[in-house]
Every structure is written in C-alpha cells, then in structure tokens.
Structure 1
Amino acid sequence: MSLASDRREKRGGTGTNLVLPAGVATPALVASAGERASVRFLEFFASAIRNPHTRRAYARAAGDFLGWCGGAGVTSITAVQPLHVAAWIELQTKTSSAPTVKQQLAALRHLFDWLVTGQIVPHNPAASVRGPAHSAKKGSTPVLDATEARQLLDSIDVTTPIGLRDRALIALMVFSFARIGAAVAMRVDDVYVQQRRLWVRLREKGGKRHEMPCHHTLEAILHAYLDGTGLANDPKGPLFRTIARGTGQLSETPLPQANAHAMMRRRARAAGIGTAIGNHTFRATGITAYLKSGGTLENAAAMANHASTRTTQLYDRRHDEVSLDEIERIRL
C-alpha cells in the first residue's frame, strides 16, 4: 500500500469508479477477491477511521501485511489465516517497538472485523493472535528542563514573522500542554479574550474541544505574534501558517505538522540544546514543570485533557532528576 501521495485518486473497477481515501491504495490480495471486497476495504479507511494519523498508520500496517502475505503465497484476502498474522507479527517484533507492533495488530483486528461484518471474509484471523507484552510507567518522550525551555524561547529572533510564529507555537505547547496536532489545527479566533484574560481553544483527539486560560508569558507571546503579523484581521484563517516563498511573510496555508516538527528540532539545535526533540517534548516539559512547582496530577490531567491520570504520569519526569543525582554517588 503506497503512502507516497495524499491526493485522492479514482480507479476503475468493473464499471465503477472507486474514490480512494488519501494515502490508501487497494492491495492485490484485496482486488483479487473482487470489487465488493475492494469497496469494503476502502470504506474501512474512509468511514470507520476518521483520524488522519490513525488512518495513515493503519493503512501502512494493512498494506505491509497484505504485501507480505502475497509474497508468502496467499492469493486472496479471504485466504488469510491466524498463522499468517502470527508469523508477520513475530517478524515485526524484531525491527519495531512493542507499542508499534501492538498498533499494527490493532489495525489488522479492526480491518478484519470490518470485513467480517461486511461478509467479505468468514472470520477474523487476527482475533486470536496475541501481541507483544508491553507495560510503561514512564514515557519515552524527551523532556527539556525549565532552563532549557526558557533558553530555547529566548534564542528565537522575533524581529521576523517566522520568528514570532515559531516562538508562539513552542510557547503554546509548553504553557497549554497542547498536542502538536491540535496546535497546528488552530484558527486565529481560537485565541480569544474571556474574563479579561486571553484563552486558547484546542480541538484534541477524538474531536474533543478543550479550552483553557493562557499563562501570562504565553499571553504576551501570542499578543506579540498576532499584533506583529496582522493575523487578527483574519479570524477564520489558520493561526500557524507556512512562509510564502521569497517573501518572508506568512502565507494563507496552514503549517503542516511535519514542518512544525522539523522547525522545533532546528530551533533546538540552534539554541545549543542536544536533546532530540519529539512531537510531545514541549507538552511533557510543561507538565513536568507544572508538577515540580507543586501542581497536582489531577489538575495536570484536566489541563492536558487526559481521560486518566495514568496517561499524565507518563509525562511526569520529576524522578529523572533523582536518578541523575543518585548516579553521581557512584565514586571510584
């Protein structure tokens, strides 16, 4: 399954044009089962999977698995057996992390469930296959300490629109615990005044709307960004935008998540920070700084829009400092 293009394509079936969801192609094993199977397969990604990131991940897993099955001699998706799924999952554990493999197995389970209810296959071959064991009490997201976060924000040249934009995006994630996907999806009117304070409105995973007041530092940074770029005159436009080629000014195109991630890593390197910045680094940095200042786990979960404090605990890296202090007690 090719993920090279996010364009919508049309391919002819037996007299019918099938509209393929972005990033999804019909594998040969599905096509060999007939047009009805192809339509049901595409409907899974178009109808059952709404989150674009989940869709891409599931499409990649399904495509890789079905491509492997084709190489193993399976001629149709209706011939896939639990042994095929188990063998492929075992192969994935040799090159991928346990959470990745568990997600891949979940993709196959959901896909085959969909095909079973559509009467394309008689049973779900992934239902009985067990994934790798995995338990995490602490997340793997790289975290900056408060000094590094401040150093990064202060290092950005804010005499240009791109500098104002980059500082505002990073500050938003630190002080509001926003996910990168929710941050780059914001519109200008998602920054608004309420109770004489600036607030931000985030649309998080699952379509959940989350609103919270701005920290005074974030408030000043957002005001500087909006005033310095004139974005306040376009309330329905994207808050974070690309830079128009050759102008140095903001365009009308929303900033893609991949570009935002590359920007953050570039800014960190320029600031002399060696930590490998991840998509959730600033979210985890903000949560850890809040808890170190006496905040409660319950309030941190509410501010981060987590359904459970167990998820928030994965972002709590206060114990890292204890480990660093204790390791220095080893004297030779």
Structure 2
Amino acid sequence: MERAVDRYLQHLVVERGLAANTLSAYRRDLARYVEFVQQVADPPVAPPVDDPTLVQAAHVSAFVRHLQRPVDGSPSGAGLSARSAARVVVAVRGAHRFWALEGLTTTDPAAEVPPPTPGMRLPKAISVREVTRLLEAPDPSTPAGLRDRALLEVMYSTGARVSEAIGLDVDDLSAAVRGASDGEDPGLPFIRLFGKGSKQRMVPLGRPAVAALDAWLVRGRPELSAKGKATAAVLLNARGGRISRQTAWNTIKAAAERSGLTEEGVEVTPHTLRHSFATHLLEGGADLRVVQELLGHASVTTTQVYTLVTADSLREVWSTAHPRAR
C-alpha cells in the first residue's frame, strides 16, 4: 500500500503540480487510510489488507464510517466532521482512480462509495466598520506595527489567502506600488499572487493598502532587513526573514484584541478578511465572475457561496426596514 501511495503522490507532484500544503494534506490523509486498511478495517466483512488489489468497496465504506465515528479511546473512530471526512475521502478516491488507470489494480472500489455530504457552511464576514477598526489597530510608530498594518491592508484589499500574502516578494509588487513614495500618482497598482497549484493572478490594490505598503517599505522594512540575510520577501519578521503563517495569525489575533472586536464577541480568523473582501464586493454590485477571478477560485461554484451571505444580509435589511415586512 505504501508504495502505491508514493506513486500516486509522485503523480500529484509531477503531473498535477499540487502546492506543498495540499500535497502534505494528501499524504496525511492517505497515511490514515493505509493504517486503517492494514490494521483495523471491518472484519469479517472487510478484513485487514496490505495490497491495493485486495481492497474492496467494503473497506472504503468502513473507512468512511470510521472517520465520522466518535472517538472513544479505541481505534473505532476518528471523530471527524462530515466536511473533514469528505476531504479525506477525496484523497482516497483519487488514489484508487489513479491506481486503476495505471493498471496497478483492475477495479476502482472507491468509485462505488460516496463521500459524506457536509452541511452548508457560510463564510463569516465582518462589517466594513469592523474591518476598518481591525486595519487601524496596529501601531504605525514601530516597524512591526507598520508591517502588521501593511499585511492587514493587503489581505483586505486583495482577498489574499494568508499563504499568498506572506509569500509576496518585492518583485510581485507592480512598479506603481514600489514607486508610490516618489510623489507621483501611482495609478491603479497591482500585486501578483500565487494561489493554489502555484497559479498566478494579478489583483488591484487600493490606495490605503498602497499607502500602508509604502510606509512599511520605506520606514519599517529596512530596519528589520538589516537584522538578517538579504531576502526578497516583502513582509519580514524581527530577525529579518520572511514572516510565517503563525506570525500572520498572531498579527490578526492581536489586531482583533486591540480593536476591541474580540471583547465584543466578533470572531476574526486569517480567512475573515478574505471572506469580508468577497462579501463587500458583491454587496457593492461586483460581478460574480470578477470576484471569482480576484479570489483565484478555479470554479465559480466556490464563489457562489458568498451570494448566499449577501442574500441573508438583504433579507435582514428588508425585514427591519420594509413597512410591510411584518
């Protein structure tokens, strides 16, 4: 089983060009599956096996049940939600499909097993007023504060994922952004983001974000850059290296606390600014296809979930404002 999994992962790297984080998730999910069919399975219906040619639909079905069964201190359950279990099953189904196509197996037992159906989970956005409070929370009198404000402004202005924001290099900023401090009108600046599967997209940057980046690049970044080795990264940590996902998460958490949003019970996560970016664009009349391109979604179906959020907002406004709503 391990050799078959390695061959599939190699295929994902070479032929599909999966991002490192996605590949790591596939590796973890398939390791969980291999351990199950080798040791646990569901005797006598689906006894443990160590060869992909011996895997039956009953093994895959037993694994799906195992993923969602509550944890009770034994190997009987993994306690995953339907959404998390469905993600794992996607990896399993992809592996079995690949093995069948490559001739490693004669059948695809996973094709007969549907993944769990996760419930609809609407993305959580915060209001424009709350976003403004969050963006203004960092202290611009310190290099770290300038960096944190630049990070938050870029994420809200572009809808960037955390990994995309921390992965920015100076060369990913258009000349209009890098030259904003020259006193000339920067026009409509862009930044280049690398999304899932290393897919590139160019996203416009608003003037507040340009100003925050300019302040960081001119007054903050040189001081931190001097503490480390030369790096092309836009956002640096205290040692002069590229900031990590954890640093970005801590920045957002600290800004939420400093702004008072946490105390008010407003949940703010690294994805909150991305969700708010999309929701506010649609509420402002942006075309769904444009929002899809800006977010870097491969399918417009993924973006359509935000229309449900704005519909909920419209219903709420209507129910409180229309004289015949009640």
TM-score, scaled to structure 1:
0.75
1:150 to 114, 117, 132: 132
Corresponding residue to 1:171 among 148, 153, 170: 153
Report if aligned partners of 2:9, 2:23 keep a CA contact under 8 Å in 1: no
- Cα distance, 1:150 vs structure 2: 0.5
Match among 231, 236, 246 for residue 241 of structure 1: 236
Asked if 1:321 is matched to 2:313, the reply is yes
Residue 97, structure 1, aligned to residue 92, structure 2: no
Answering whether residue 47 of structure 2 is matched by residue 81 of structure 1, we say no
Pairwise CA distance, 1:174: 0.7
Structure 1: runs of 5 or more not aligned? 1-28, 31-35, 245-250
Query: How far did 1:306 drift?
Result: 3.3
Deviations 1:63-108 (A, max 9, x none): 1112122222524133322111111112323433333222211101
Note the C-alpha offset of 1:130.
0.9
Contact 1:188–1:231, Cα closer than 8 Å, also in 2 = no
Q: Does 1:202 align with 2:193?
A: yes
Q: Percent identity?
A: 25
The one-letter code matched in structure 2 to 1:297 is L
Answer yes or no: is 1:263 the counterpart of 2:245.
no
Q: Residue 272 of structure 1 is aligned with which of 249, 260, 266?
A: 260
Query: Equivalent residue for 2:285?
Result: 294
Specify whether residues 279 and 154 from structure 1 end up closer, same or farther in structure 2 by C-alpha distance, changes over 3 A only: closer
Which residue identity does 2:25 align to in structure 1?
A: A
Residue 255 of structure 1, CA deviation: 2.0
* 4+ residue runs over 6 A deviation: 232-236, 326-329
More strand per residue: 1
Whole-Å Cα distance in 2 between the matches of residues 66 and 242 of structure 1? 39
Work out the CA distance in 2 between the residues paired with 1:181 and 1:166.
Answer: 15
Aligned partner of residue 242 in structure 1, secondary structure = coil
User: 1:322 offset after TM fit, Å?
Assistant: 4.4
> Which residue identity lines up with residue 227 of structure 1 in the other structure?
V
Q: Which amino acid aligns with 2:111?
A: A
Pair 211,39 (structure 1): closer, same or farther in 2 beyond 3 Å: closer
Give the distance between the partners of 1:269 and 1:172, measured in 2 at CA: 20
Whichever residue aligns with residue 177 of structure 1, its letter is G
**Counterparts of 2:51 and 2:287, CA distance in 1:** 50
What amino acid maps onto 1:113 in structure 2?
Answer: R
Counterpart amino acid of residue 254 in structure 2: R
Cα distance in 2 between the residues matched to 1:85 and 1:147: 48
Report how far residue 307 of structure 1 moved: 4.3
Cα distance, 1:213 vs. partner?
Answer: 2.7
Aligned ranges 1:24-173 → 2 under 5 Å:
29-30=1-2, 37=4, 40=7, 43-44=10-11, 46-47=13-14, 50-72=18-40, 74-78=48-52, 79-94=54-69, 95-134=79-118, 136=120, 139-173=121-155
Q: Deviations over 1:144-191 (max 9, x none)?
A: 111111111112112222211111111111111212222111101211
Q: CA deviation at 1:223?
A: 0.7
Kindly provide the amino acid, as one letter, of the partner of residue 279 in structure 1.
P
Q: Deviations over 1:257-284 (max 9, x none)?
A: 2432233123212322133323321111
